[in-house]
Amino acid sequence: MPAWGRGTRVRGTRQAGALAAVLGSLTGFNSAQQIHAELRRRGERVGLTTVYRHLQVLSEDGQLDTIRDAGGETLYRRCRSEAHHHHLICRQCGTSVEVEGRVVEQWAEKVAAEAGFTVMDHTVELSGLCSRCGGS
Amino acid sequence: MPAWGRGTRVRGTRQAGALAAVLGSLTGFNSAQQIHAELRRRGERVGLTTVYRHLQVLSEDGQLDTIRDAGGETLYRRCRSEAHHHHLICRQCGTSVEVEGRVVEQWAEKVAAEAGFTVMDHTVELSGLCSRCGGS
DNA sequence: CGCTAAATGAATATGATTTCCACTATCGTT
DNA sequence: AACGATAGTGGAAATCATATTCATTTAGCG
């Protein structure tokens, strides 16, 4: 059973490949629309619908990190690490750093336990200005 | 200069009052649409546009907590505490608890400093099942 | 009371994401 | 290599939350 395994039969299509290539070369977080634009820029002919579909599947599979920008738009990026992690993003230039947050996880568990909750998920996003943009 | 101060002259309108009343009586987080619906249910005649406008202003003023549900929709609730805090929300019944997260803040600052970032904001949302719903 | 800027809200616009559905392409099987 | 079942594709149209427009109404100062 391959990593992307089980019933989810996935065919190797031109579009899936092109998308994977783009995701592999982009560094920061990008919206579906931006990714679609990049695809066109490269001369690839892929429908916006298809881009959305793939991004959705990939993120469900845990192959993409997703966050929401201030406007509620969903941004995607290929995961660098397998392990659970959070993000630190520069508001100015979009640079992002993955940070592991064992501390946060532990805190979350403790807080949940105290409130009688069973934590199943948590979101932690940090944003600010990176050293380059923060010269104020 | 009042707390909500400066140039932002705010008139005491029927709509503003009705909205405040509803926000005061609702316990959990609600979307603009739900709040609007509740207003109508009470026989108040307030336009959806007005609801959105007020919610936006109130949250900018720090009088409302806002979070985004899984679908990207914005939910609002009147703050209980003045201090900065985070939320623990039950996925099943929507019950939410405010939790203070000094630990998280400190962690955030440390992580940011290490990456050369100046943290200006952070989002932390915890979700799971409360004791009542978690009987599994 | 009279006035004027602020507030309102119906209608319309926006913009991301989803759904529809007819058409196409992949790949296991002959 | 051709075949065919079926997953994949993508343009158009639908959704849906939220923003904007603008003519009309209203709060509250003088």
Q: Encode pLDDT of A79-134 as tens digits.
A: 777 778 888 888 777 788 888 888 888 999 999 999 999 877 888 888 888 888 87
Tell me how crowded residue A44 is: count the other CB atoms within 10 A of its CB: 16
| Angle subtended at Cα B34 by Cα B28 and Cα B37, rounded to the nearest 5 degrees | 130
Q: Edge-to-edge strands of the sheet including A118-129?
A: A96-99, A86-90, A118-129, B118-129, B86-90, B96-99
Model confidence band, residue B5 (pLDDT cutoffs 50, 70, 90): very low
- Residue B12 contacts strand D, CB under 7 A: yes
Tens digits of per-residue pLDDT, A37-89?
999 999 999 999 999 999 999 998 888 988 888 788 999 998 777 778 888 88
Q: Is the pLDDT of residue B38 over 90?
A: yes
Please name the residue of chain A whose CA is at the shortest distance from the CA of residue B95: A117
Predicted pLDDT at B7: 39
Contact B122 A118 (CB under 8 A): no
Please tell me which residue, B16 or A87, carries the higher pLDDT value: B16
State the alpha helices, DSSP H only, in chain A: 14-25, 32-41, 48-60, 102-114
Does the pLDDT of residue A8 top 60, yes or no?
A: no
Rounded to whole angstroms, the maximal C-alpha distance in chain A is: 55
Mutation for testing the B interface, residue in A60, A97, A107 having most B CBs under 10 Å: A107
For A120, the closest chain B residue by CA position comes to: B128
Residues 6+ apart with CB under 8 A from A132: A90, A93, A95
Mean pLDDT of chain B: 85
How distant is the alpha carbon of residue A32 from its chain centre?
A: 11
DSSP state of A1: -
Interface of A with B (CB under 8 A): 68, 72, 74, 88, 90-91, 97, 99, 101, 103-104, 107-108, 111-112, 115-131, 134
A117: which chain B residues are within 8 Å (Cβ-Cβ)? 88, 90, 97, 126, 128-131, 134
Total length of chain A = 136
Cα B33 from Cα B26, distance rounded (Å): 14
Enter the pTM of the model. Answer: 0.78
